[in-house]
Amino acid sequence: MKKCTQFIVLFFLLAIFSCASSKVNKYGLTRDNPFKILDSTELAKENRFYSIKKPKNWYAFVEPHGGLYYAPEKLKNQAPINFKSFVGFALKENKKNKLKNINDYVNASIKKLKKTYKNFNYQQIETKHEKYGKSIVLRFISSSWNDKNIKYKTANLYLFYKNKCYLIRYRSTLDNFDEFVPDVEKMIKSFKIKE
């Protein structure tokens, strides 16, 4: 009986603290309406750890887990539901200072990606961000989580700045990837960490 009671308590705690009931769902996102395209006022209110210059021909949207993404207007009728092309930004807290540098960060990411994707193949390119120094790009091809026939090309740009890990991800279907690279490069160049 004690185990049953513990299970019920755990179930209710999970329900209370799930993303469906948390502040990330402030836009009223539901299973039937999982994305919200943000207007300029809503976008300005999003308090994120960074700022960028969004190209005029791109729009911003949030998804159920609270992620803020940018996508080309040209694909608006296809995205964001299928994430045909998007750019996202992430901050990974360096808990307990486990990651000492950008190479540690990238190696940890590769290890995780190898668990996620079978036969994970990637290209690693060292580069330099204008403001934040050494950066590393991982490029790889993967399938959609819900449709194995859709192939994506992903370019993850990793930055390590003031003991924090930053990720800028550009993902697009194979047929759209190259078309939007110039816009993505401008966003990356304009990327500024709020300090």
146, pLDDT greater than 60 = yes
Would 137 be classed as within a structural domain?
A: yes
41 three-state secondary structure: helix
pLDDT of 12 reads 34
Least confident of 48-62, 69-83, 111-125: 69-83
If pLDDT is split at 50, 70 and 90, which confidence band does 1 have? low
Section 85-100 average pLDDT: 82
Is 10 a member of any domain?
Answer: no
| pLDDT digits 0-9 by tens, 153-171 | 999 999 999 888 999 999 9
Query: Which of 19-23, 38-42, 103-107, 169-173 has the lowest average pLDDT?
Result: 19-23
Per-residue pLDDT at 156: 95
77 pLDDT above the threshold of 90? no
Please give the single-letter amino acid code of residue 55.
P
Say which residue, 49 or 124, is predicted with more confidence: 124
Does the residue 3 lie in any domain? no
| CATH number, domain containing residue 132 | 3.40.1000.10
For residue 14, being part of any structural domain is answered with: no
Total number of domains constituting the chain: 1
In a domain, 2, yes or no: no
Instruction: Kindly state whether residue 86 falls inside one of the protein's structural domains.
Output: yes
- What pLDDT, on a 0 to 100 scale, did the predictor assign at position 40? 84
132 phi and psi angles, rounded to 5 deg = -115, 10
Dihedral, CA atoms, 172, 174, 176, 182, nearest 10 degrees? Answer: 70
Per-residue pLDDT band for 10 (boundaries 50, 70, 90) equals very low
Look up residue 75 and give its amino acid: L
Q: Look at residue 23 and tell me whether its pLDDT is greater than 70.
A: no
pTM to 2 decimals? 0.80
More confident site: 15 or 45: 45
Q: Is residue 139 part of a domain?
A: yes
Residue 9 has pLDDT above 60, yes or no: no
The span from the first CA to the last CA of the chain, in angstroms, equals 51
pLDDT in tens, 111-141: 999 998 888 999 999 999 999 999 999 999 9
What is the C-alpha to C-alpha distance for residues 120 and 111, in angstroms, rounded to an integer?
Answer: 10
Q: Which domain holds residue 114?
A: 26-193
Query: Does 19 fall in a domain?
Result: no
